Structure 1
Amino acid sequence: MASNRKPAPWQRKLRALLQKPAALPILAAVCGLIIVAIAAIVVWFTVLGGKSSTSGSSWSEPASDASYDATADKVDVEAYKGTVLPETEDAGQEYLDETLFLGDSNTVRYMVYGPEGSEDSYTTIDNNIGVVSMGVQQITSLKCENFVGRSSAVTMPAAVEIMQPRRVIIGFGTNNLTMSVDTFIEEYKEGLAAIHEAYPYADIIVNAIPPLDKQRSNTALSMKQVDAFNSAIVEMCEEEGYKYLDSSQALEDPETGWAKTDYTLSDGVHLSQKGVRALFEYIQTHAYITEDTRPKPLNKVPEVQGVTPNLITSDPIAVRGENGQTSTKVPVEFVCSEGGSLSGATSQMVAKGGTCSTVTAVPDEGWVFAGWGASIGSTGGSGESLTFTVPGDADANGVIITAYFEQEEAEPTETPEPTASPEPTAEPSPTPSATSAPTPTQAPATPVPATPVPATPAPTPAPATPAPTAAPTPAPTAPPAPTEPPAPTEAPVNSVPEVTVPDNSTPANAAPAPEETGSEAATAG
């Protein structure tokens, strides 16, 4: 039985809309918007989910961070004006080469990074002693530096004496943030005194502890601790006569007090490439150069072998997870040389033995990808896209992976050879007779008028005056005769003795002038 129920008003409107010609484009547009919205949601969750799984970004702010005052415990530069290094002109690479850098894992990174556009790092093993996970309490006791010809490693103070630097920049404290401030300063004083005693000719500069990123892996560490330690360090430098490098000014956000964005790795502790570059720009523009009082000549420095690898197996802070829980994740940073960029997550926190998310090297125009390099582990024969597996023996310093690019070789262009200037060629001359002097060059034959000339009596022959001979035959190399006949010219006078000719006679060798007419010729005869 058919229903007599009438359609609702919205149904009638929909049916009317669908019957209009514009209905199909409108429906297509609506469907397109729905598809785009779904795709955006999928991408959103995919990207965030991938980042969270590799970088440990499931971070929540500790309650103590909310009460952090970015200006409360910062170093008072004015109060320590004679101790805090002021801004100077850029001292350049020479200043760095004369400096020995001592410190922890952040110091190690100075040997990995370099200025933008340069393949050279800021420091090398010849002026860098950085030990991963090391603290100030180990300065006098840990035998870490190796030299060729020595059977065992030596401590940092002993290494300073051997290497005889003009100055020392030392940076410890990140691995000591769980200590009390007083204990930390006492340990630091002892270590610095040992260095000064071993080699009193080197200026000692103490670097600030770098700021943490707010979204750090180990939330047991705080910027309150960092600020308190740095304030105590500058006071110690004032008392002991050392200089203080307030590099926090270059690394921290002045408004928040935390590290600037992207100046640390995903763990929020170790300096990234961007952070190290900012640090060294600050070092070079806050230089401390005094008179060189080192005894001359300097002793010969034995070949440096560097720090014993994996010297400290326990990590005080860097690989601890959220809320102090133990974690096996280490920071992995992807960087690139000049000539390209990277696509993907360039800073990741990955478990030892785990796999990083894929990162792709993208060369700039005119450049080509040249390969990958890793501070530890192997990148294999990967192409431009790399999915790296973190070695099981990675430590708190993590892994640094570098993409290298090189310029494309330009197509060789043929350089035209210079054309030699033509040498002037001597004009050919008629071949002279073997038995006579050279005959003067004869003029071209003069056309003779068609009017006949009557014969005339021969004149009395001149003594020994030979009649002119025919023009000599030119050599085969003579140029061809001109295509146009030259204008009539007077015949040249031969170089013969002058002959007196009677008025009524015509010399045999005289050619009639072209302007004479026939009647004039007859009269002359």
Structure 2
Amino acid sequence: PSPTPEPTPPPTLLAETEDMGQEYLDSIVFYGDSNTNRLRAEELLSGGYSTTQVWTPMSGTLTLNRWDIDKIVYPETWTEMDVTEAMAEKKPEYLIINLGTNGVSFMDEEYFKSEYTEMVEALKAASPDTKIMLSSLYPVAQSYPYQGDINNGKLAAASGWIYDIAVEEGVRYIDLAAAVKDENGDLPESSHIGDGYHLTKAVLEDVLDYVRTHGYQ
């Protein structure tokens, strides 16, 4: 008898789906930096400011190379713990990681990929059944003053590295940058809170709509 063909793995990039609904959104934990923290600050997830779906450090921001140094606030108990500890404790159904924006200012491809891969492997080991989605990095606006450190060329390149890691690690990639960028790949000037970087409440709502309509299947 002929051998059973290996099933084709699902595509890494999450494509458009039907609206997966509020219950799906409620089953996702968001791990990341200051734009992820703004999901809590703007009270956009179930539970509002007390949501249990946002993992960021007490500072509200996080740089990629410090993922295993800076503890996150575990919202259920409002205590600080390593993200791997939180992962083992909560075992979320889904995890979206949006991390690396600050890192592009000083990390080359090799350094970025090695830190990011180590993080993904540690999170997978802590909760093997959690379905992990790696996010592309949000663009900055033309008016963002620190273009020498963080700019859309660097952010797009790093998003490509994150996609490569998703393929390598057998996790999925969600292009959240697509929910916010204009036709030139920039963050529109109307989409930030005045600093060229942090997303407005309305744009974060667009991001959550994108999450719901690009479901993990």
TM-score normalised by the chain length of structure 2 = 0.86
2:20 corresponds to 1:91: yes
User: Is residue 166 of structure 2 the alignment partner of residue 237 of structure 1?
Assistant: yes
Residue in structure 2 matched with residue 260 of structure 1 by the alignment: 188
Aligned to 2:211: 283
Mark the CA change 1:86 to 1:192 in structure 2 (over 3 Å): closer, same or farther.
Answer: same
Task: State the secondary structure of the residue aligned to 2:80.
Answer: coil
1:177 alignment partner, SS class:
helix
Written as runs of structure 1 = structure 2, the 5 A alignment for 1:155-194 is 155-178=82-105, 179-194=107-122
The whole-number CA distance in structure 2 between the counterparts of 1:194 and 1:120 is 27
Distance 1:104 1:258, change over 3 A: same
The one-character-per-residue Cα deviations of 1:251-290 (angstroms, maximum 9, x if unpaired) are 1112x2101231122111111112211111111100114x
- Displacement of 1:177: 1.6
In 2 relative to 1, CA 262–141 (structure 1 residues): closer, same or farther, beyond 3 Å?
same
The structure with the largest helix share of the pair is: 2
State the distance in 2 between where 1:188 and 1:182 align: 10
Unmatched 5+ stretches in structure 2: 1-9
Deviations 1:284-320 (A, max 9, x none): 100114xxxxxxxxxxxxxxxxxxxxxxxxxxxxxxx
Amino acid in structure 1 at the alignment position of 2:51: I
1:109 aligns with 2:38: yes
| Percent identity (aligned) | 27
Q: CA deviation at 1:133?
A: 3.1
1:212, 1:268 within 8 Å by CA — same for their partners in 2?
Answer: yes
Cα 1:260–1:159, aligned 2, differ >3 Å: closer, same or farther?
same
Inter-partner Cα distance in structure 2 for 1:259 and 1:238:
27
Kept in 2: contact 1:169–1:205 (CA 8 A): yes
**Letter in structure 1 aligned against 2:117:** K
Aligned counterparts of 1:87 and 1:260: Cα–Cα separation in 2: 23
Of structures 1 and 2, the larger Rg is shown by 1
Residues 205 and 244, structure 1, Cα contact 8 Å, conserved in 2: yes
**Pairwise CA distance, 1:128:** 1.0
Alpha-carbon offset, residue 154 of structure 1: 1.3
Deviates more, 1:269-278 or 1:125-134: 125-134
User: 2-side partners of 1:181 and 1:121: how far apart?
Assistant: 38
**2:55 pairs with 1:129:** yes
Residue in 1 aligned with 2:7? none
Any idea what SS the aligned residue of 1:226 has?
helix
Letter in 1 for 2:143: Q
Q: Report SS of the residue matched to 1:111.
A: helix
Q: Matched residues in 2 for 1:231 and 1:267: separation?
A: 25
Decide whether the 8 Å contact of 1:97 with 1:123 is kept in 2. Answer: no
Label 1:236 to 1:154 Cα distance change in 2 as closer, same or farther (>3 A).
same
Aligned CA distance change for structure 1 residues 242 and 124 (closer, same or farther; 3 Å): farther
| Structure 2 residue aligned with 1:140 | 68
CA distance 1:219–1:257, shift in 2 (3 Å) = same
- Contact kept, 8 Å, 2:52 with 2:76, in 1: the verdict is no
After superposition, give the CA deviation of every residue in 1:399-430 in whole Å (9 maximum; x if it has no partner). Answer: xxxxxxxxxxxxxxxxxxxxxxxxxxxxxxxx
Task: Kindly indicate whether structure 1 or structure 2 has the higher relative contact order, using CA contacts under 8 Å at least 6 residues apart.
Answer: 2
Gap change, CA 1:147 and 1:93, over 3 Å in 2: closer
Contact 2:113 2:161 in 1 (8 A): yes
Q: Can you give the 5+ residue segments of structure 1 that lack an aligned partner in the other structure?
A: 1-80, 290-525
Mapped to 2, the partners of 1:206 and 1:148 lie a distance apart of 23
1:129/1:200 Cα in 2 relative to 1: closer, same or farther (>3 Å)? same
User: TM-score, structure 1 length as denominator?
Assistant: 0.37
Q: CA RMSD in A?
A: 2.3
One-letter amino acid matched to 1:284: R
Instruction: Quickly say closer, same or farther: Cα 1:279–1:148, change in 2 above 3 A.
Output: closer
Give CA-to-partner distance per residue, 1:166-207, whole Å, 9 cap, x none.
011111011112111221111000111111101101011011
Pick the aligned partner of 2:151 from 199, 204, 222.
222
Structure-2 separation of matches of 1:158 and 1:121: 22
Deviation at 1:215, TM superposition (A): 0.7
DSSP-derived class of the 1:134 partner: coil
State the one-letter code of the partner of 1:127. Answer: Q
Aligned counterparts of 1:189 and 1:148: Cα–Cα separation in 2: 27
Q: Equivalent of 1:201, from 91, 112, 129?
A: 129
Alpha-carbon contact 1:140-1:194 (below 8 Å) kept:
no
Superposition pairs of residues 292-303 of structure 1, within 5 angstroms: none
1:112 Cα deviation after fit: 2.8
Local SS of the residue matching 2:168 = helix
* Equivalent-residue separation in structure 1 for 2:37 and 2:85 (angstroms): 19
The SS at the match of 2:190 is coil
Aligned residues: 204
1:4-53 Cα offsets, whole Å, 9 max, x none, are xxxxxxxxxxxxxxxxxxxxxxxxxxxxxxxxxxxxxxxxxxxxxxxxxx
* Partner Cα distance (1:194, 1:281) in 2: 29
Residue identity matched to 1:129: W
Counterpart of 1:269? 197
Structure 1 outlier segments of 4+, above 4 Å: 119-124, 146-150
